[in-house]
């Protein structure tokens, strides 16, 4: 079973993946482009682990052991000995392709899976940037990663069966996640269904159909959802929602995936949801 893993990106999603992998006993090497980004990721991970200790969900001993399993680098060449790599960086096709090309050249074991946490980009597009596309696969986690049990496994047309088996095994047997598998179509399973729902809620606000509070309350109490669509969009990140919408609209041409003007303007204004302190709701206090 995989022991040495690499995680590319220590942002919101990357930090969650790092935490879960370290708590599960993996040796985790983390890459970020700049030291300040690594420092931010480390602080985010340790804050989350400390919160788990304070809530009685993790012992201090296990917290310290998890922290000790994590190391950090700004040099992708240090990933040479990794048995599996998980990427969680910005949803930008060109940047992801560049990173995967470098990982493919660096990771010595050419059967070691290279996984993308992309929410919407086709895995085949990313795999095309490598010399060994059989090792490239989608492994899509959900935020917050330490809490939500689901992962989506997305093989490209060129992904080897052995890669699928290794990645599913690591996700389920080591990380304790429930894995579902989808074809390599933009949005996969969850976002294919979820994104039109979130965008519809934005359009309702935009058109003055109802208040944000009533929309969220309606879906919580009327459809038994744990949170309303606008609260969920704020948690996901409005920039991420807009980016996913753009990719899916480009692929399918379906108006239900078109990014509403209000969402676009909010992103332009820096109102990105929880992570910026302001979205459809105010999180600054």
Please give, one letter per residue, the 3-state secondary structure of 257-282. Answer: HCCCHHHHHHHHCCCCEHHHCECCCE
pLDDT tens column, 81-132: 999 999 999 888 999 999 999 999 999 999 999 999 998 889 999 999 999 9
- Give strand pairing partners of 181: 153
SS3 label, residue 32:
coil
Closest CA to 28 of 83, 74, 110, 75: 83
The whole-model pTM stands at: 0.91
In degrees rounded to 5, what are phi and psi of residue 140? -100, 115
Q: Element (H or E) spanning 200, and its range?
A: helix 190-206
State the chain's mean pLDDT as an integer: 96
User: CA–CA separation, 236 vs 257, rounded Å?
Assistant: 16
| Domain-wise residue ranges, the chain | 4-181, 192-276
Range 248-275 average pLDDT: 96
Which residues have CB under 8 Å from 144's CB, separation 6+? Answer: 16
From the list 32, 87, 91, 152, the catalytic residue is: 152
pLDDT value at 191 more than 90: yes
CATH code for residues 192-276: 1.10.1040.10
Catalytic residue check, 140: yes
Lookup: tokens for 78: 């240090």
From the list 26, 87, 117, 140, the catalytic residue is: 140
**In the prediction, which pLDDT does 77 show?**
97
From the list 116, 120, 191, 243, the catalytic residue is: 191
**In the prediction, which pLDDT does 1 show?**
85
Catalytic residue check, 225: no
From the list 48, 119, 243, 276, the catalytic residue is: 119
CATH code for residues 4-181: 3.40.50.720
User: CA–CA separation, 88 vs 127, rounded Å?
Assistant: 15
């Amino acid at each position: 079973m995989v022991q040495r893993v690499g995680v590319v990106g220590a942002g919101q999603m990357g930090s969650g993946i790092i935490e879960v992998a370290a708590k599960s006993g993996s040796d985790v090497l983390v890459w970020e482009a700049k030291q300040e980004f690594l420092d931010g990721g480390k602080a985010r991970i340790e804050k989350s682990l400390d919160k788990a200790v304070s809530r009685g969900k993790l012992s201090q001993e296990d917290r310290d052991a998890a922290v000790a399993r994590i190391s950090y680098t700004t040099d992708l060449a240090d990933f040479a000995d990794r048995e599996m790599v998980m990427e969680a960086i910005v949803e930008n096709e060109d940047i992801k392709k560049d990173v995967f090309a470098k990982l493919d050249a660096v990771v010595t074991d050419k059967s070691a899976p290279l996984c993308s946490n992309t929410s919407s980009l086709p895995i085949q597009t990313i795999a095309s940037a490598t010399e060994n596309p059989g090792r490239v696969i989608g492994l899509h986690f959900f935020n917050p990663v330490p809490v939500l049990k689901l992962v989506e496994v997305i093989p490209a047309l060129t992904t080897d069966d052995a890669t699928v088996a290794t990645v599913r095994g690591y996700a389920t047997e080591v990380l304790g996640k429930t894995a579902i598998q989808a074809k390599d179509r933009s949005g996969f399973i969850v976002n294919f269904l979820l994104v039109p729902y979130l965008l519809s809620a934005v359009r309702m606000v935009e058109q003055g159909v109802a208040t944000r509070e009533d929309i969220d309350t309606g879906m919580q109490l009327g459809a038994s959802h744990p949170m309303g669509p606008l609260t969920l969009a704020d948690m996901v990140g409005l920039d991420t929602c807009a980016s996913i919408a753009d990719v899916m609209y480009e692929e399918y041409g379906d108006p239900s995936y078109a990014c509403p003007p209000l969402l676009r303007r909010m992103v332009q204004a820096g109102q990105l949801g929880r992570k910026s302190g302001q979205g459809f709701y105010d999180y600054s206090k």
